[in-house]
Structure 1
C-alpha cells in the first residue's frame, strides 16, 4: 500500500504566536533605535564620547582579526603609546565582537557596522529573553514576549545605550536560563544536567569577555540568590538537593570556567592592583543611586520626561548614572506579579534578591534605619526572655548577639545599649530563676561573656576585689542564703564595672534602661509577642541592620573595596540592567495570572502600558560630520612617525579630542600617545592636568612622557600644541 504523505500544516494559533512575538520584537527595536532608523543611519546613537570608545574597541578587534600590523596583538591597541596591555583598561567586547566583524566583512562602513551591531545585540537580547521566559520558566507567549521586551528594550537599557558595552546581555540570560532549567525543570539525565551546568558557566565566562559590569553583577546576583535560597524554606530543599546531586558536575564546570578565564585574569589583575591605589571616592559617591534614582527616567522619556526638571529628580547627582527608572506603572506591575505568584519559589527568590540588591546599593537614611532596627532588636530580645518555655530560642538569641559583638567593633551606641539591655535582662533572669540552678546556666554564661566583651578585665578585677570581701563576710554569717549572696555579689560587680566603664556616657545607661524596661512592658501581653523562632530571626536581621547602617548611608560604599572586583564598579546603579530580569519575571507572572482568569483585555492593557513606559529618545550624532573631523586630524599625521600626540587649541573637550586622535590613529596606522578608556596608565595623569590647569604647558607634559618611556623626540609628532594658533590644523615637527 502506498504511504500517504501528510502535508506540513501551520496551525493558526502557532502562526498567531509567531506574529505576536515578531511584532513586539520589531516594535521594541524601533522604539530603542529609532534615532538611527528614522535618519537612514545618517545619525548614530548616542554621543561622541563613550560611544566612540566602544566603537574603537570593536574596530580594533576587527583589525586584529584581519591581521593589520598595528593591531596584531589584541591586548595592545595603539593608544597610550608605548604602554602595553591597554585593552585591560576597558571592556574587551571579544565575545560579542564577531557580529560587528561580520558587518564589516560584508562591506559595511564602520558607522553602519556599529549601528547594525547595536540593533543585532538588541535583537539577540530579545530572543534570549524570550527563550528564558518561554522555555526556561514556562510562561505562555504573551507574558514571555512582554518580559522579553522589558529586558531587551527597557528604559534603563536604552538610557545606558551610550555605554554600548552594557547593551549585550544575552550571555547573562543564557546563564539564568541554564540555572532555571536545573532548579526548576529538574532534568533527569546526567548528560543533560552536565550540559546545563556547563552552559551556565560558559554564559558567565563569555559575559566577562564581553563586558565586566554585567558579568560582575551576574556573579553578585548569584551570590545573593544562593543566600536567599538557603534562607527561604520553599527554596532551601530544592537548592540543597540539586547541589548535593550535582556537586562534582558543578566543581568540574567551575574548573572549566576558571581555566577559560585565566587569559583574562592574567591581563586584568595587574591593572586591578594598580587601580586599587587610585580610587577616586567622590566619583563613587556621585554615581551611587539615591532612592529616587530608581524612578528617574530622564528628560527624553516619552511619558515622564517632564518629571526630570522637578524635585527630587532635578537635584540628583551625575544625571546619566541616575537614569535607573523604567516608569512608575511597570515597577508596580512587576511587584504585584511577584506578590500574587508568591507560591512559586522562583518568585519569592526573585523578590528577595531584588530587595537585597536594592538595599545594598542605594543611599538610605542610615541613622533612621539603625534606630528602628535597634528598637526591633530590643523588643525581640525582651520577647525571648518572656518565653519561659523556650530556653533553646533564648540561648540562640543570646548567642547571636554575642557573635555579632565579637565580629564588630565599638563605638556603636545602639549596640552599646543593646549590650547593656542584654546584661539587665540576663540579670533579671538570674534573679527570677534563683533556686533553680539548671535554669541559670545559659543567662549566667551569657552574662559572663557579655562582660568580657564589653568591659575591661582590669576593671572587673577591681570590682571583684571591692565586693568579694564584703560578700564573703555576709555569706559567713548568713549561711542559709549563701547562694543569694553570691548572686547579689556578681550583680553588684557587674553594676560597678558598667558604671565605671561608661561613666562619661549617661545616655547609654538611660537608653539601656529605657529600652529594656519599655521592651519588657510592651512584650508583656501574650498577644503582642511573636513566636520564639520569629523573634530570633527578627533579632538577627535587626542586629545586622544596626551594624550595617550605623553612621553610614550606603552599604555599597562601605564594603565595595572589600569585595573582589568591586573597585572596578564605579557606577553601581547599572545593576538595574540585571534587576530588569526579576522585574520582567513579575510582569510575566502578572500577565499570565490575568490570562488564566480570562481577563485578556486587562492583560493586554498592562502589556501595552508597560511597553509604552519604556519609550526613550536618546541622543545621536552626525556620522558624516564625525568622519570629517577624524579625517581632518588624520591628514595632519605624518606617515612613518613612531607615534603622535594631538591636542587642539582651543580644544573641544579632553575626551573628544583624545577620541579624535584614537580614530585618526586607526585611519593612518600611526600609534598615538592620546587615549581615552575606563582608566589610564601610570604616569599619564599629566595629559589630564593640561586641561584642568591653564598654566601647565602640554609640551612639557609630552616631553616628560617621552623621557619616562625612552621615546626619541624626533620620532614623535605633536599636533596643535601651539597656543598662538587658531585651530588644530597647525602641526609642529620637532627636530
Structure 2
C-alpha cells in the first residue's frame, strides 16, 4: 500500500543551502505580509483601531495576569463590562500565542512595540511551520517548499484579514497536519507514532488555545478529510491502518488534550449560556458567494482594479469576502495537485477543496448546505464569518504550488519554476490600511486622567464624539489599564445581558436619557453601589 506522499520527491539539498533558502523565504514572507509596519520602523500597525486594539488588550491583560499585576489576578475576568466575570471567554483568549507577546513585555519592551513584534513573530512561525510541513511530510524540494511557505504565511487572503489580527496565528495547524501525514505513512512504527500522535493532539489543542476559528476549522477539516478518505480505496486503507496501529496513542494523548482544554471549554460554555448562541441569520452575510473565491479586494497590487466589478462590489460585508489568491496561484496549485493525483494525499486535498467549496457556497435563491454544518457540527453555530475558510484553503494551495514547482525543478526547468514562483507571490501583494497606535493610546490616557480618586469603576460616555462608538469603548478599556480601575465599557465578540451602552456617544438629549436609563438599569441589574461608579462624559479629544 502506498504512503500518502512518499518523500523526498527530489534529492535533498545541502543543509547550508536549505538554511539559505529558508532565511531568504522568511525575509520575503515577513516583508510581503508586513512591509508597511517594517517601513515605519514598527511605529504603525496594520488594520484599524477596532479588532487590532482589542486583540492587543487581551494580550496585555494576559501579560499582566502572568506578571501578577493588581486587577488582573484572574485571567478569565478581564476588567471590562464591570462587574461581569468571565469576559475573556466572550472572544478568543489567545492563550496559545500569549508567550510570543509576554516575552517582549518581560524584556521591558513597551506595549505597542511588543505587539508589533508579536505580529512579526506570528508570521515568522507561520512561515517556518509551513516550510517544515511542505518539505518533510509533503516532501517538496527546498526551493518549492520555501515558495509554498511564503504563500501560506503571506497569502493575500490572510493579509486581507490583517484587521482581524487574531486570524494570523495558524502555525499550530500545520504541525498537526504534518503529524497526520506522518502517522499515515506505512514506515511509521507504533513507537514513532506515539510522538506524532502527541504532536497531532498538541498542535490541535494549541491551535484552539490560540484562536477559536482556526482551531475549529482544523477539527472540521480533519473530520472532512477523514470522510473524503473513506471514498478512495487506497486512502481508506491508509486511514484504517493508521487508526489500528496508532489508535491507542491517539486516544491516550486525546485524553490529555481534553484535560488541557477543559478550562477553555468550561469558560466558553458558561459564556454561551450567558449571552446565548448565534443565529444563522448573523452568519448569512458572511457565507461565501461564487464570486467570493476570486475576490482580491481593492488593496491588492495586481488585481485591486477588479474590486469595482459588480460581482465583487455587491458582496455583503465585503471585507470578509476577500479570500481570492489571484489567477496564476490557484491554477498552478490545481495543476500541481492534479499532476500528483496518483498520490493519495494529492487526491485527498483535491477532494477536500471540492467538498468545502460545494458545502460553503451560497447558491441562487439564498440556499446553502452550510446551514446543516452550522446547526449540526459541534461549535458550528459559533462560526459567523464562514468566508474565513478561504484563508484555510492556503493549506492545499501551498501544497499544490510546492508540488508543481517541485515537478518543474526535478525536470530540469528551474528557471520556469522560479518565474512561476515569483509570479504567484506577486499576486499576493496587499497594501492595506494602517494606523499609528500612539494616537489612540494618547486618547486612552486622556480618559484615564478624567477618572478621579475613589472610583471603584467608571463609565465613559463621551459628549459629541465624532468617532465610531467602538473606538470610545476601547479607549475606556485601555484607560482602565492605565488607571488600574475597571470600566463598564466594553468591546468584544459578545456583550453581557443587560448591557445597553452601544452606542455610547451622547449627541443629543435623547442619547443622554437613553444612557442614563441604561446606567440605572445596569446598576440595579448588577447590584452596584452608584456612589463608587464614576461617569466620564467630557468631550473627547477627537
TM-score range, shorter chain: over 0.9
2:481 maps to 1:674: no
Q: Which residue in the other structure is 1:128 paired with? A: 129
Could you tell me how far 1:129 is from its partner in structure 2?
0.6
Structure 2 distance, partners of 1:85, 1:709, is: 15
Distance 1:558 1:321 in 2: 21
CA contact (8 A) 1:640 1:670 kept: no
Aligned equivalent of 2:436, options 595, 612, 622: 622
Deviations 1:611-668 (A, max 9, x none): 1111111211112212211111111111331100102122311111000000000100
1:259 has 2:73 as partner: no
Deviations 1:692-718 (A, max 9, x none): 997352121111101111111110011
Q: Could you list the per-position Cα deviations for residues 503-531 of structure 1 after superposition, in whole angstroms to 9, with x for gaps in the alignment? A: xxxxxxxxxxxxxxxxxxxxxxxxxxxxx
CA distance 1:316–1:114, shift in 2 (3 Å) = same
Specify the alignment match of 1:655 in structure 2.
Answer: 470
Paired residues in the alignment total 527
CA contact (8 A) 2:279 2:381 kept: no
Counterpart Cα distance in 2 of 1:563 and 1:105: 40
Question: C-alpha displacement at 1:12, in angstroms?
Answer: 9.3
Residue 728 of structure 1: CA displacement? 3.1
Deviations 1:256-305 (A, max 9, x none): 2111111111111122234445x354431111111111111111111101
The equivalent residue for 1:59 is 60
Task: Provide the secondary structure at the position in 1 that maps to 2:450.
Answer: coil
Is the CA contact (8 Å cut-off) linking 1:136 and 1:185 kept in structure 2? no
Q: Matched residues in 1 for 2:270 and 2:187: separation?
A: 41
Partner residue, 2:515:
698
Question: Of 380, 390, 403, which residue of structure 2 is paired with 1:566?
Answer: 380
Task: Please tell me whether residue 633 in structure 1 is matched to residue 450 in structure 2.
Answer: no
Q: 1:12 to 1:326 in 2, by over 3 A?
A: closer
Q: Deviations over 1:704-735 (max 9, x none)?
A: 10111111111001111xxxx7x1379xxxxx
Say yes or no: does 1:719 pair with 2:536: yes
Q: How many Å apart are 1:164 and its aligned residue? A: 1.5
Structure 2 CA distance, aligned partners of 1:170 and 1:559?
Answer: 25
What does residue 584 of structure 1 align with?
398
User: What per-residue deviation string (whole Å, max 9, x for no partner) do you get for residues 65-101 of structure 1?
Assistant: 1101200100000000000011100101111111101
Shift of 1:691: 6.3
- Aligned partners of 1:365, 1:240: CA distance in 2, in Å? 39
Q: Does 1:139 align with 2:148?
A: no
CA distance in 2, matches of 1:301, 1:281: 31
Q: How far apart, CA to CA, are the structure 1 residues paired with 2:484 and 2:355?
A: 49
Give the CA deviation at 1:567: 1.5
Question: Does the CA contact (< 8 Å) of 1:137 and 1:184 recur in 2?
Answer: no
The question of whether the paired residues in 1 share the 8 Å contact of 2:183 and 2:246 is answered with no
User: In the superposition, relative to structure 1, how do residues 165 and 234 fare at CA in structure 2: closer, same or farther (>3 Å)?
Assistant: same
Q: Who wins on radius of gyration, i.e. which is larger?
A: 1
Give the superposition deviation at 1:251.
1.6
Give the 3 Å change call, closer, same or farther, for CA 96–634 of structure 1 in structure 2. same
Number of the residue aligned with 2:218: 218
Kindly indicate whether residue 371 of structure 2 is the aligned counterpart of residue 554 of structure 1. no
CA contact (8 A) 2:285 2:317 kept: yes
Q: Are the structure 2 counterparts of residues 208 and 363 from structure 1 closer, same or farther at C-alpha, using a change threshold of 3 Å? A: same
User: What RMSD, in angstroms, separates the aligned Cα atoms of the two structures?
Assistant: 1.9
Deviations 1:581-618 (A, max 9, x none): 11111111111111122111111111000011111112
Residues in 2 aligned to 1:113 and 1:653: alpha-carbon distance in whole angstroms? 26
Equivalent positions of 1:426-575 (< 5 A) are 553-575=367-389
State the 1:563 CA deviation: 2.1
Task: Tell me which protein shows more helix as a share of its residues.
Answer: 1
Gaps of 5+ in 1: 1-10, 367-551, 731-735
Q: Any conservation in 1 of the 2:448–2:482 contact (CA below 8 Å)? A: yes
* Partner SS for 2:285: helix
Find the aligned partners of 2:504 and 2:376 in 1 and give their Cα distance.
34
1:40 to 1:690, Cα distance in 2 relative to 1, 3 A = closer
- Please give the per-residue CA displacement for 1:542-574, whole angstroms capped at 9, x wherever unaligned: xxxxxxxxxx62111344023211121110111
Give the aligned partner of residue 196 of structure 2: 196
- TM-score normalised by L of structure 2: 0.94
SS at match of 2:534: strand
For the residue of structure 2 that corresponds to 1:84, the secondary structure is coil
**How much does 1:234 deviate?**
2.3
Tell me how far apart the structure 2 counterparts of residues 729 and 127 of structure 1 sit (CA, whole Å).
43
1:299 is matched with 298
| TM-score normalized by the length of structure 1 | 0.70
Q: Distance in 1 between matches of 2:362 and 2:275?
A: 24
Matched, 1:604 2:418: yes
2:239 corresponds in structure 1 to: 239
How far apart in 1 are the matches of 2:390 and 2:507? 37
> Which residue in the other structure is 2:181 paired with?
180
Task: Confirm or deny: 8 A CA contact 1:284 1:557 kept in the other structure.
Answer: no
Residues 58 and 97 in structure 1, CA contact (< 8 A), matched pair in contact too: yes
> Contact between 1:143 and 1:591, CA under 8 Å: does it hold in 2?
yes
Corresponding residue number in structure 1 for 2:540: 728
Match of 1:310 in 2: 309
Q: Take 2:301 and 2:443, find their aligned partners in 1: how far apart are those partners?
A: 32
Aligned to 2:342: 343
Q: How does 1:349-368 map to 2 (within 5 A)?
A: 349-365=348-364
- 1:506 matched residue in structure 2: none
